[in-house]
C-alpha cells in the first residue's frame, strides 16, 4: 500500500513538473513527495523492528528487508527528480524576466512611432490644403522636402497658376467676350508652360487655328496628311513653317476623287476650301506673298482648290449632287452654271457639268412619286427661263434641256417607273388598270440592251427593277460626290409597296378566270427584268408561259391520275404540286378566291364526277351481281326448302296448327327455311305465347352453332319463345350448338328461347297439337334427359323402331289384330302408343290393368267386359272429336254393350270418320297390359279369362279381322302383353284357342348397337352431354340394347357429377369418359340399385318362364335349345297346374300347349336379341347370354369388363 501511494505521488510530480512557469506548484509537489517518502521510511523501520524481535529466525525477516531496500531506492529516485524539477523552475523564472523586459521596450518604441505618424499626417494635410490654394510653402513643414525640391515645387505651382490665367483668357476669346487672343507667357521650365507657349506662339493665334487647315487636308488629301503627321511634332511644325511649294503628293491626291460624305459645308472640295478660307480669316493672315508660317500654307491650299481646272469642275459637280432635291429651284440650278474660276477647257468641263446636272434632275424626278407630269414638262419648269439668265448660261442650260427626248428609252423607263410608283394596291394577281400595261410593256421591249445607255438610263433601269421586285426603291436627295449606281438607287425598309402586294397575290395565286392571262403577261415582264418565271412568285412554265398548276391540271385530266386518286388515295393538291399547308388554306377560302384553289376544286369536282360515274357503274354492276346472287340464292332456297316448307305447312295444318311462310322470303331468300306457326289459345299453350317458329337446318351431318343462333334470331324477330329446328335424320348437334341452345334457354325473361333440334321424320310423328306441346314441354323442362318413368308418351322419346312401327302401321291400316309381345321393360306399350300417334285416324289406348277392380270383384264377367268396351268407345270418340272438332262423331253407347250394339256403334263411328276425313281412314284400338289382367289368384283366373274372352269376342265380332266391307274405316286391334304362359290359355270366345294361337304376333327386340348409340347421343345432346366413343360402346354393351337399361346407365353417369343438378338438367355441357362410365356400371351392379331391381324383378323375374331361362343362360356359357325348351316347358306346365289351366285341358292338349309355349318363348327370346345363337342360325343348337348387366346381375358376380374397370379411379370427364 505504501508503494502504491508513492507511485501516485510521483506521477503527480511528473505531471506538474511539465508545466513550465508554475514553480510554486512544482516545489510543493517535491515537498509532499519527500514527506511521504520519509513517513514511509519511518513506518517501514518501525514495523521491521518488531518483526525481527518476534521473528524466530533470519529467514522470517528477509521479505521485510527486501521491501525496505526497495523503498530506499524509490526515495532516492524521488529526491533526484525533485532536484531536477527545481532546476527547471529556476530556468523558467529567468526566461520570464527577460521576456517581460523586451515587452516593455517594444511598447515604448510603438508609442514613439505613433506620435511621429500623427505629426506627419498633420503636416501632409496642411501641405495638401496649401497646394489646392496654389501655394507650396507648407511642404517644408513636413520635414521631408529639401530646399531644392521646394524650389521646383514652387515653380510648378506658379506655372499652374499662370496656365490657369492664360486658359481663362483663352476661354473668354473663344466665347467672344474679347477679341484679343492671350499672349504667350515667358518661357517657363514646366511642361505645361511649354505646351501653352506652343499653342500661343506665332502672333494672331495661327498655330491655335491650325486645326482648320488640318481638317481641310484630311478631307482632300488624308494620305498626305498622315505622312506629315508621322513626323511627329517637329515634322508637323516644320511643314507648316516651311515656305516651299506644296508637296507634289498633295495635288495628286486632291485631283483623285476624295472619299467621304457631304457635310454642312457641302461637297469635300468645297468644304476644304471653306475651311482654308476660314483659317485665313481667323488667323488674320495678311495678303503678303512673302509671309511665312501657316498663312503661306493656307494660301497655297486655297490656290490649289480654286485654280485647278479638274478640281474646279469636280467641285462644281459635287455641288450639283450635293444639292437637295427638295430645295431645287430654278435659282439654285442657275448657280450650277456660274462661270468657273479659270478657263481651263471650256467645252469639256461644261459638257460634264451638263451631264451631271441632267442626271441629278432625272434622279430627283424619279424619286418624287407625287409628280404626275411627264419628265419633259417637269424639266422645263425646273430649268431657269431664258429671260433670267445670261446668254452663256442659257447656252449651257439648253444643253441640259436638249438631252431629253420623249421617245427615248429614258422616257419609256420614266413612264414605267411612274406606273410602278402610282399603281393602285391590287386585290388579286391581275394586271393593274391604267398606264401600267402599255408603260411596262414599252419599257420591257426597250430594256434589252442597257450597255449603250448613259447613267440616267442605267439608274432608271435599276430603279424600275427594284420597284418591279416589290421593294421600296428610293434615291437620296443629295450626295457628297457623283454617286455610283449602287449608291444612287437603294431599297428602303418601308411598308409593302403595291407591286409587292401584286407579287404576293401572284404567289398566293389570288385571281379569277383571267389569272392565267394576267400572270402570263406579268411573267413576260418578269422575264425581261431578268427573273426566272418558273420560280415564285409567278411559277410559270418557261415554254408555254402557263401557270404550273394549269399544266398539271391539264395533265391530270387523263385516267392515270384519277385512278391513282381512287386506288392509292392521291389528293388533288398532291397532283397539282400544292403543299399540304396551302391545301388547308384553300379549304378555308371562299370558292374562286385563289386560282390554285379553284383548280383544286375543279379537279376534285372532275374526279368526283368520274368516281360517281364509276360508283354508279359499279353500283349497277353490284346490283347485277347482287341480283344474280339473290336470284341464285332464291332458286337454291326454293330447291332446298320449297318442298320442305310445303310438306311441313301441310303437316302442321293437318294436326290443327296453322302455319304460314315468311312473306318477305322473296326479298330475303334466307327466310325460305322458316315457318311461322300460330299456337292454340289454350291454357296449356299459354306459357309459350302465340307464335312458334319452325326452322330448317341446311342439309349436312351436323347442327352447328350458327344454326342455333339463326333459329334464336328468327324467334326474336317473330317474338316467339320456342323454335323447332328440323334437321336431317342423320344430323346431330355438335358441342358448340348444344352450348348455344343452353345459353339461349338460360337467358332471363322474355329473351329466353327454347330451341329443340329434331329430325324431319321424327317431327312428323306428332299426330296432334298436344304431341307438339309434349315435345316442347319435354325440351324445356331440362330434367335428366335419360330419366323415364312409365311408357313413352311422345315421339321425341321414341328411337329407332321404324321397321316395327311401319309394319304395325300397315297391319293397323289393314284392320288386322296383332299381339305385341316381348320381355318386360322392352318398350311394348311405347311401341303401341307410337303407332297410335302415327295412324291417320282416331285411336284408343286402354290399359287393361286399370280395370283390375272390375275384373276381380264383379261377379258377372260381362259387366267388367262392358266397362272395358265402353272405355274403348269413349277414347275413340274423344280422339275423333279432337281430330275433327267440326264434324259429328257418334257418342259411346249408353245402354248395355253387347255384340250387336257394339257392332252398330263401330259401323256408325267408321262412317263418321270416313266422312270427316273425306276418305277412308284408319282406327286403332290398343289393349295394353293383357298379362296384368290375368295376374290374379287361381280362384279368380277363370273369371279373368272370361272377362278377357268376352272383350275379345265382342270386339272381334264388331270390327272383324279386315277392313269393313261397306267402305267404312278399317279398325286395327293391338294386344300388348309380356311373355306369359297364360297367353296360351284357351278362350271360349276364340273357339278355345289361345291369344297367341289366334292372332299374329310381333316381338319387340332390343335396340341394335347403332340404334342404342343414336338414342344416347340424341338424348344427351339436347343438354350438351357428350360421350366418348369408348364410353358409349361400354354403355351399349353393358345394357345389351335394352332401352330401360340404357337410360338408367345414362342417368347414373350424370348423377356421378352432381345428382341434384343432374335431376334438374342443369349440368350444362359435359364430356363423359370411360372412367365415369365404369363407376356408374359398378354402382348399378350393387344390391338395391334400380338397374339390378329391374333386372331381377321385371326383365328376368324368377317366377317367369323367361326369368328362369335367362338365369340358366347367365350361369352357363352355352345352353342347348333342347335344355332351354325343356326348362321352358316344365315352367309353363307348372304355371298351368298352379293356375288351374291344366284341369280344363286334356293331357295331350296340355302337353301340346306346353310344348308350343316353350318353343315360342325360346324363339321370342332369340328374337328379342338378348341371346346369341350358336350353330346353324336357322336352327341353332344352343344359345348364350352375352356379358352385360343382365348376366352380371343374374349370375351374381361382376362381368370381366366391370371387374377390370373397378380398378380404375373414377373421375369426371
Give DSSP secondary structure letters for 439-468: HHHHHHHH-S--TTS-HHHHHHHHHHHHHH
Share of the chain above pLDDT 90, in %: 3
Residue 834 in this model has a pLDDT that exceeds 60: yes
Residue whose C-alpha is closest to residue 1017's, from 1005, 1001, 1000, 1029: 1029
Residue whose C-alpha is closest to residue 842's, from 770, 947, 897, 914: 914
Region 77-81 average pLDDT: 90
Q: Is 864 exposed, middle or buried (0-12, 13-18, 19+ CB in 10 A)?
A: buried
**Which pLDDT value is given to residue 1050?**
83
**Which pLDDT value is given to residue 44?**
42
The rounded distance, in Å, linking the Cα atoms of 506 and 500 is 10
Spell 179-193 as b/e; 16+ CB within 10 A means b: eebbebeeebebeeb
The beta strands (E) that lie in 916-1058 are given as 923-928, 971-978, 1000-1003, 1025-1027
Residues 821, 983 contacting (CB under 8 angstroms): yes
Count Cα atoms within 13 angstroms, Cβ side, for 817. Answer: 16
Region 140-151 average pLDDT: 70
**Which pLDDT value is given to residue 793?**
52
- Highest mean pLDDT among 137-151, 939-953, 963-977 belongs to 939-953
| Cβ atoms within 10 Å of 699's Cβ, excluding its own | 10
**Which pLDDT value is given to residue 1201?**
45
C-alpha cell of 1171?
341371346
Region 845-872 average pLDDT: 87
Residues 292, 348 contacting (CB under 8 angstroms): no
Residue indicated by cell numbers 316442347? 776
Residue 797 in this model has a pLDDT that exceeds 70: no
The rounded distance, in Å, linking the Cα atoms of 1189 and 1203 is 12
Tell me which of 255 and 19 has the higher pLDDT.
255
Note every long-range contact of 516-520, with CB atoms under 8 Å and residues 24 or more positions apart, other chains counting.
Answer: 516/546, 516/547, 516/550, 516/595, 518/429, 518/430, 518/431, 519/429, 519/547, 520/545, 520/546
**Which pLDDT value is given to residue 357?**
84
| 3-class SS of residue 660 | strand
| DSSP assigned state of 790 | S
Bridging pattern class, strands 1000-1003 and 817-822 = parallel
**Which pLDDT value is given to residue 1197?**
56
Peptide bond into 537 cis (omega under 30): yes
**Which pLDDT value is given to residue 1145?**
83
Angle at 1140 between CA 1138 and CA 1144, to 5 degrees: 145
Tell me which of 778 and 227 has the higher pLDDT.
227
Taking phi first (over 0 means left), then psi (-120 to 50 degrees means alpha), and beta for anything else, what does residue 772 get? alpha
Residue 260 in this model has a pLDDT that exceeds 80: no
Region 644-656 average pLDDT: 87
| DSSP assigned state of 1206 | T
Least confident range of 419-433, 610-624, 1184-1198: 1184-1198
Count Cα atoms within 13 angstroms, Cβ side, for 514. Answer: 8
Residues 928, 847 contacting (CB under 8 angstroms): yes
The rounded distance, in Å, linking the Cα atoms of 94 and 371 is 115
Q: Is 452 exposed, middle or buried (0-12, 13-18, 19+ CB in 10 A)?
A: exposed
**Which pLDDT value is given to residue 31?**
46
Band of residue 819 on the pLDDT scale cut at 50, 70, 90: very high
| DSSP assigned state of 1175 | E
The rounded distance, in Å, linking the Cα atoms of 123 and 129 is 10
Check: pTM over 0.85? Answer yes or no: no
Region 73-93 average pLDDT: 89
Peptide bond into 228 cis (omega under 30): no
Residue indicated by cell numbers 306346353? 1154
Taking phi first (over 0 means left), then psi (-120 to 50 degrees means alpha), and beta for anything else, what does residue 59 get? alpha
Spell 632-642 as b/e; 16+ CB within 10 A means b: eebeebeebbe
Least confident range of 373-377, 570-574, 1018-1022: 1018-1022
Q: Whole-number mean pLDDT of the chain?
A: 79
Tell me which of 33 and 999 has the higher pLDDT.
999
Band of residue 345 on the pLDDT scale cut at 50, 70, 90: very low
Residues 887, 915 contacting (CB under 8 angstroms): yes
**Which pLDDT value is given to residue 307?**
61
pLDDT digits (tens, 9 = 90+) for 671-702: 888 999 988 888 777 778 888 999 999 988 88
Band of residue 1173 on the pLDDT scale cut at 50, 70, 90: very high
Angle at 762 between CA 761 and CA 765, to 5 degrees: 100
Least confident range of 130-134, 466-470, 884-888: 130-134
- Highest mean pLDDT among 15-19, 546-550, 1115-1119 belongs to 1115-1119
pLDDT digits (tens, 9 = 90+) for 155-202: 777 777 777 777 787 777 767 677 666 766 655 667 777 677 666 655
Residue whose C-alpha is closest to residue 934's, from 870, 855, 844: 855
Q: Which helix (H) or strand (E) holds 422?
A: helix 409-422
Helices and strands: H and E segment counts in the chain = 50, 19
What strand order describes the sheet that includes 1000-1003? 843-847, 923-928, 971-978, 817-822, 1000-1003
Tell me which of 289 and 871 has the higher pLDDT.
871
Residue whose C-alpha is closest to residue 865's, from 970, 979, 958: 958
Residue indicated by cell numbers 418565271? 533
Strand partners, 1000: 818
Backbone φ and ψ for 342, nearest 5 degrees, come out as -125, 175
Residue 1165 in this model has a pLDDT that exceeds 90: no
Residue 34 in this model has a pLDDT that exceeds 60: no
pLDDT digits (tens, 9 = 90+) for 325-335: 888 888 888 77
The rounded distance, in Å, linking the Cα atoms of 1111 and 1096 is 10
Strand partners, 818: 974, 1000
Residues 6+ apart with CB under 8 A from 598: 512, 591, 592
The rounded distance, in Å, linking the Cα atoms of 810 and 922 is 10
Region 725-750 average pLDDT: 79
The rounded distance, in Å, linking the Cα atoms of 1025 and 1069 is 5
Residue whose C-alpha is closest to residue 203's, from 286, 283, 297, 299: 283
Least confident range of 11-15, 183-187, 565-569, 905-909: 11-15
Least confident range of 133-147, 507-521, 920-934: 133-147
Using CA atoms, how far residue 181 sits from 169, 178, 207, 297, in Å, is 8, 8, 12, 21
Region 369-388 average pLDDT: 83
Using CA atoms, how far residue 142 sits from 646, 1038, 1156, in Å, is 150, 148, 179
HEC secondary structure over 1046-1091: HHHHHHHHHHHHHHHHHHHCCCCCEEECHHHHHHHHHHHHCCCCHH
Amino acid at each position: 500500500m505504501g508503494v502504491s501511494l508513492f507511485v501516485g505521488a510521483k506521477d503527480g510530480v511528473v505531471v506538474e513538473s511539465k508545466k513550465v512557469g508554475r514553480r510554486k506548484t512544482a516545489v510543493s509537489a517535491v515537498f509532499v513527495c519527500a514527506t511521504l517518502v520519509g513517513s514511509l521510511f519511518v513506518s517501514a523501520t518501525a514495523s521491521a523492528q518488531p518483526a525481527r524481535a518476534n521473528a524466530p529466525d533470519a529467514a522470517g525477516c528477509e521479505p521485510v528487508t527486501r521491501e525496505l531496500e526497495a523503498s530506499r531506492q524509490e526515495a532516492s529516485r524521488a529526491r533526484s527528480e525533485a532536484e531536477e524539477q527545481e532546476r527547471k523552475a529556476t530556468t523558467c523564472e529567468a526566461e520570464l524576466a527577460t521576456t517581460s523586459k523586451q515587452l516593455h521596450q517594444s511598447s515604448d518604441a510603438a508609442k514613439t512611432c505613433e506620435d511621429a505618424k500623427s505629426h506627419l499626417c498633420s503636416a501632409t494635410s496642411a501641405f495638401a490644403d496649401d497646394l489646392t490654394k496654389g501655394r507650396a510653402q507648407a511642404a517644408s513643414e513636413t520635414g521631408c522636402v529639401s530646399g531644392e525640391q521646394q524650389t521646383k515645387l514652387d515653380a510648378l505651382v506658379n506655372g499652374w497658376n499662370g496656365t490657369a490665367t492664360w486658359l481663362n483668357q483663352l476661354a473668354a476669346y473663344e466665347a467672344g467676350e474679347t477679341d484679343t487672343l492671350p499672349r504667350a507667357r515667358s518661357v517657363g521650365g514646366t511642361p505645361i508652360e511649354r505646351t501653352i507657349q506652343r499653342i500661343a506662339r506665332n502672333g494672331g493665334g495661327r498655330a491655335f487655328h491650325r486645326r482648320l487647315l488640318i481638317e481641310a487636308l484630311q478631307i482632300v488629301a488624308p494620305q498626305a496628311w498622315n505622312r506629315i503627321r508621322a513626323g511627329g511634332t517637329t515634322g508637323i511644325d516644320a511643314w507648316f513653317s516651311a515656305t516651299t511649294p506644296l508637296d507634289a503628293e498633295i495635288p495628286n491626291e486632291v485631283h483623285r476623287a476624295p472619299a467621304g460624305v457631304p457635310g454642312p459645308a457641302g461637297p469635300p472640295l468645297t468644304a476644304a476650301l471653306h475651311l482654308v478660307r476660314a483659317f485665313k480669316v481667323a488667323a488674320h493672315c495678311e495678303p503678303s506673298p512673302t509671309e511665312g508660317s501657316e498663312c503661306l500654307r493656307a494660301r497655297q491650299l486655297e490656290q490649289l482648290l480654286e485654280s485647278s481646272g479638274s478640281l474646279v469642275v469636280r467641285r462644281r459637280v459635287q455641288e450639283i449632287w450635293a444639292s437637295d432635291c427638295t430645295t431645287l429651284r430654278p435659282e439654285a440650278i442657275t448657280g450650277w452654271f456660274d462661270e468657273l474660276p479659270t478657263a481651263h477647257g471650256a467645252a469639256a468641263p461644261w459638257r460634264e457639268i451638263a451631264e451631271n446636272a441632267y442626271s441629278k434632275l432625272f434622279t430627283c424626278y424619279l424619286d418624287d412619286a407625287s409628280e404626275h407630269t411627264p419628265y419633259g414638262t417637269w424639266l422645263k419648269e425646273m430649268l431657269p427661263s431664258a429671260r433670267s439668265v445670261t446668254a452663256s448660261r442659257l447656252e449651257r442650260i439648253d444643253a441640259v434641256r436638249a438631252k431629253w427626248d420623249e421617245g427615248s428609252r429614258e422616257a419609256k423607263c420614266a413612264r414605267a417607273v411612274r406606273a410602278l410608283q402610282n399603281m393602285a394596291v391590287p386585290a388579286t394577281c391581275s394586271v393593274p388598270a391604267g398606264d401600267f400595261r402599255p408603260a411596262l410593256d414599252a419599257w420591257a421591249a426597250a430594256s434589252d440592251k442597257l450597255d449603250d445607255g448613259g447613267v440616267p438610263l442605267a439608274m432608271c433601269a435599276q430603279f424600275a427593277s427594284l420597284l418591279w421586285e416589290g421593294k421600296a426603291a428610293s434615291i437620296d436627295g443629295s450626295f457628297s460626290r457623283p454617286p455610283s449606281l449602287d449608291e444612287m438607287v437603294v431599297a428602303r425598309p418601308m411598308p409593302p409597296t403595291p407591286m409587292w402586294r401584286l407579287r404576293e397575290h401572284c404567289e398566293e395565286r389570288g385571281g379569277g378566270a383571267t389569272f392565267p392571262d394576267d400572270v402570263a403577261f406579268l411573267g413576260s415582264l418578269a422575264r425581261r427584268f431578268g427573273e426566272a418565271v418558273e420560280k415564285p412568285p409567278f411559277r410559270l412554265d418557261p415554254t408555254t408561259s402557263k401557270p404550273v398548276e394549269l399544266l398539271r391540271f391539264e395533265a391530270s385530266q387523263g385516267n392515270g391520275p384519277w385512278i391513282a386518286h381512287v386506288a392509292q388515295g392521291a389528293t388533288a393538291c398532291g397532283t397539282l404540286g400544292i403543299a399540304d399547308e396551302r391545301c388547308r388554306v384553300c379549304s378555308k377560302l371562299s370558292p374562286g378566291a385563289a386560282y390554285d384553289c379553284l383548280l383544286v376544286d375543279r379537279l376534285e369536282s372532275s374526279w368526283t364526277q368520274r368516281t360517281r360515274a364509276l360508283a354508279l357503274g359499279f353500283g349497277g354492276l353490284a346490283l347485277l351481281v347482287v341480283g344474280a346472287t339473290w336470284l341464285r340464292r332464291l332458286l337454291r332456297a326454293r330447291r332446298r326448302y320449297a318442298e320442305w316448307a310445303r310438306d311441313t305447312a301441310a303437316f302442321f295444318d293437318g294436326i290443327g296448327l296453322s302455319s304460314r311462310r315468311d312473306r318477305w322470303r322473296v326479298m330475303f331468300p334466307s327466310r325460305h327455311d322458316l315457318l311461322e306457326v300460330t299456337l292454340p289459345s289454350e291454357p296449356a299453350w299459354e306459357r309459350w305465347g302465340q307464335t312458334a317458329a319452325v326452322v330448317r337446318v341446311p342439309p349436312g351431318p351436323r347442327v352447328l352453332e350458327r344454326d342455333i343462333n339463326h333459329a334464336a334470331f328468327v324467334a326474336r324477330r317473330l317474338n316467339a319463345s320456342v323454335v323447332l329446328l328440323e334437321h336431317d335424320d342423320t344430323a346431330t348437334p355438335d358441342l358448340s350448338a348444344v352450348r348455344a341452345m343452353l345459353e339461349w334457354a338460360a337467358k332471363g325473361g322474355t329473351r329466353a328461347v327454347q330451341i329443340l333440334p329434331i329430325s324431319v321424320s321424327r317431327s312428323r310423328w306428332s299426330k296432334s297439337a298436344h304431341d307438339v306441346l309434349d315435345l316442347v314441354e319435354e325440351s324445356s323442362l331440362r330434367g335428366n334427359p335419360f330419366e323415364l318413368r312409365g311408357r313413352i308418351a311422345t315421339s321425341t322419346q321414341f328411337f329407332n323402331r321404324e321397321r316395327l312401327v311401319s309394319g304395325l302401321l300397315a297391319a293397323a291400316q289393314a284392320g288386322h289384330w296383332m299381339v305385341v309381345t316381348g320381355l318386360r321393360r322392352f318398350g311394348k306399350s311405347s311401341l303401341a302408343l307410337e303407332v297410335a300417334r302415327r295412324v291417320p285416324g282416331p285411336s284408343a289406348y286402354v290399359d287393361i290393368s286399370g280395370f283390375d277392380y272390375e275384373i276381380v270383384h264383379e261377379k258377372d264377367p260381362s259387366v267388367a267386359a262392358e266397362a272395358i268396351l265402353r272405355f274403348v268407345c269413349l277414347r275413340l270418340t274423344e280422339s275423333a272429336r279432337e281430330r275433327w272438332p267440326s264434324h259429328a262423331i257418334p257418342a259411346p253407347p249408353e245402354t248395355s254393350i253387347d255384340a250387336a250394339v257394339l257392332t252398330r256403334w263401330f259401323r256408325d263411328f267408321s262412317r263418321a270418320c270416313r266422312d270427316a276425313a273425306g276418305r277412308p281412314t284408319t282406327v286403332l284400338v290398343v289393349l295394353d297390359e293383357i298379362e296384368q289382367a290375368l295376374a290374379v289368384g287361381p280362384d279368380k283366373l277363370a273369371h279373368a279369362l272370361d272377362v278377357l274372352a268376352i272383350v275379345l269376342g265382342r270386339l272381334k265380332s264388331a270390327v272383324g279381322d279386315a277392313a269393313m266391307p261397306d267402305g267404312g274405316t278399317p279398325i286395327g286391334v293391338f294386344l300388348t302383353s309380356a311373355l306369359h304362359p297364360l297367353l296360351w290359355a284357351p278362350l271360349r270366345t276364340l273357339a278355345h284357342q289361345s291369344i297367341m294361337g289366334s292372332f299374329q304376333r310381333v316381338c319387340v327386340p332390343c335396340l341394335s348397337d347403332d340404334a342404342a348409340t343414336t338414342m344416347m347421343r340424341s338424348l344427351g345432346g339436347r343438354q350438351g352431354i357428350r360421350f366418348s366413343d369408348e364410353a358409349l360402346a361400354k354403355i351399349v354393351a353393358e345394357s345389351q340394347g335394352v332401352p330401360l337399361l340404357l337410360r338408367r346407365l345414362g342417368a347414373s353417369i350424370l348423377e356421378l357429377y352432381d345428382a341434384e343438378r343432374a335431376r334438374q338438367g342443369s349440368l350444362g355441357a359435359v364430356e363423359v369418359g370411360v372412367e365415369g362410365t365404369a363407376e356408374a356400371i359398378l354402382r348399378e351392379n350393387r344390391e338395391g340399385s334400380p338397374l339390378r331391381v329391374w333386372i331381377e324383378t321385371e326383365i328376368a323375374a324368377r317366377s317367369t318362364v323367361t326369368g328362369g331361362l335367362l338365369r340358366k343362360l347367365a350361369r352357363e356359357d352355352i345352353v342347348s335349345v333342347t335344355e332351354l325348351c325343356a326348362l321352358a316347358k316344365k315352367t309353363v306346365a307348372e304355371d298351368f297346374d298352379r293356375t288351374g289351366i291344366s284341369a280344363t285341358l286334356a293331357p295331350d292338349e296340355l302337353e301340346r300347349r306346353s310344348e308350343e309355349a316353350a318353343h315360342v318363348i325360346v324363339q321370342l327370346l332369340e328374337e328379342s336379341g338378348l341371346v346369341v345363337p350358336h350353330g346353324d342360325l336357322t336352327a341353332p343348337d344352343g344359345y348364350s347370354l352375352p356379358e352385360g348387366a343382365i348376366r352380371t346381375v343374374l349370375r351374381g358376380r361382376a362381368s370381366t369388363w366391370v371387374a377390370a374397370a373397378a380398378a380404375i379411379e373414377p373421375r369426371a370427364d
